[in-house]
Amino acid sequence: MPELDPAAIPASRRRKALAWIAIALIVAALALAFAWVAGWLSPGRLTPQRFTNAIEAANGQVWRGFRRAHAKGVCVAGYFEGNGQGTALSSARLLAPVRTPFVGRLSIGGGSPYGLDARARVRSMALRLDSDDGQQWRMAMNSFPFFGVSSVEAFYEQTRANTPDPATGKPDPVRQAAFARAHPEFARFADWAAHAPWSTSWANTTFNGVDTFRFVNRAGEVRNVRWSMQPQTPFAEMTPEQRDQADADYLAEDLAARLARGNLRWDMVVTLAQADDPVNPSQSWPEDRPRVTVGTVVVESSSAQATGACRDINYDPLVLPTGVEASDDPILAARSAVYSVSFNRRQHDIASGEAAAATGHAATRESDR
């Protein structure tokens, strides 16, 4: 094959390619930096690769071409409408009274792309917001209000404790009990999972950022914050009978039906910390902390993740605009590093599958990715 002359490539294509390469290098450098700060790159220490291996093992198998966690979901699109109330807290452009488009994803917890919607205790919302000043803000939020454990190492052990025993296909209850004894703080999360009411829809689920971030305003003032997306759709509790009778894909079906009738909205509510409030996501802040509604997420449409715009996005929570910074939350850095490893493995799966498909031996199911 003759060598391609770079001069023959149109300038617009060269600029676009260079821009994407620059973005990829920045994201990779950020992930590497946070992994270094977290101590993940030290010999003998827990690494993002080992953690991702544990997630794959806990899934029971590797589902090629899918996200290693929250494998089942749908793409959504719409806009975030800032109301200006957040501009005193952060210089981020999208908090001004402007509309910012996003590509998002709604999903359920678990590593199987064929999971049963009604059996997934955790639901998630991810957003990539593209500001008109050329910056991005990526968010990854969950339906639980706090994290189960206080350290990356404990999270790793929790993942390993949930790995199925090959003999039974289920987690070993003895190992799970040993984990719970070693990490008594997990009891609060277990109580939430067992007793908190289930919502009937993605549309009436509250999604929490859980991790702590820093808002920086134009005067340079810094404030620790957490945020939640609180639905304007009224909450309705799903009964055990409804969960038993629900279709496997009922969340996606319900979402499509609701969107056919109109847009869906969540208010972004920011909680402001006091100086002594912990950054660790396993520890809640007192209920009396000030809250500010800074805008509204408006979902206009949904599409299958196999062909939707969200398919190839890594919703790394450390891709942040000017005016928003990472805190010292240890799990936040770990999430970013593991997301990067998972994303790279998934993209490799997809590329391999598409190459195999060209010869008639597809390694992945295109319709399900």
Point out the catalytic residue in the list 70, 183, 195, 361: 70
**For 232-246, what is each residue's pLDDT tens digit?**
999 999 999 999 999
**Average pLDDT of span 54-61:** 88
The model's pLDDT over 27-50, given as tens digits with 9 standing for 90+, comes to 433 444 444 334 443 445 789 999
Query: Mean pLDDT, to the nearest integer, of 266-279?
Result: 97
Residue 88 belongs to some domain of the structure: yes
**179 within a domain of the structure (yes/no):** yes
Is 223 a member of any domain? yes
What are 297-356's pLDDT values in tens digits?
999 999 999 999 999 999 999 999 999 999 998 889 888 899 899 889 988 888 877 544
Predicted pLDDT of residue 93: 97
Task: Tell me the mean pLDDT in the region 104-125.
Answer: 94
pLDDT-derived band at 61, boundaries 50, 70, 90 = confident
Number of continuous H segments (helices) and E segments (strands) in the chain: 8, 10
Overall pTM surpassing 0.85 (yes/no): no
Which residue in this structure is represented by tokens 């509604």? Answer: 293
Q: What is the total count of domains within the chain?
A: 1
- Domain assignment of residue 244, yes or no: yes
pLDDT in tens, 101-111: 999 999 999 99
Residue 15 lies in a domain: no
Main-chain phi, psi angles of 226, to 5 degrees: -130, 155
Answer whether residue 211 is part of any domain.
yes
Average pLDDT over residues 98-119: 95
Looking at beta carbons, which pairs linking 67-71 to residues 24 or more positions away fall under 8 Å? 67/107, 67/111, 67/342, 67/346, 68/111, 68/342, 68/345, 68/346, 69/109, 69/110, 69/111, 69/342, 70/107, 70/108, 70/109, 70/110, 70/124, 71/107, 71/110, 71/111, 71/112, 71/113, 71/115
Buried b (16+ CB within 10 A) or exposed e, 39-75: ebeeeeebbbeebbbbbbbbbeeebbbbbbbbbbbbb
Domain annotation covers residue 110: yes
Domain assignment of residue 338, yes or no? no
Residue 70 annotated to the active site: yes
Residue 44 has a pLDDT of 55
Identify the pLDDT of residue 103. Answer: 98
> Residue 112: which domain range?
72-329
Question: What is the domain-level CATH number for residue 96?
Answer: 2.40.180.10
Q: Would you say residue 94 has pLDDT above 60?
A: yes
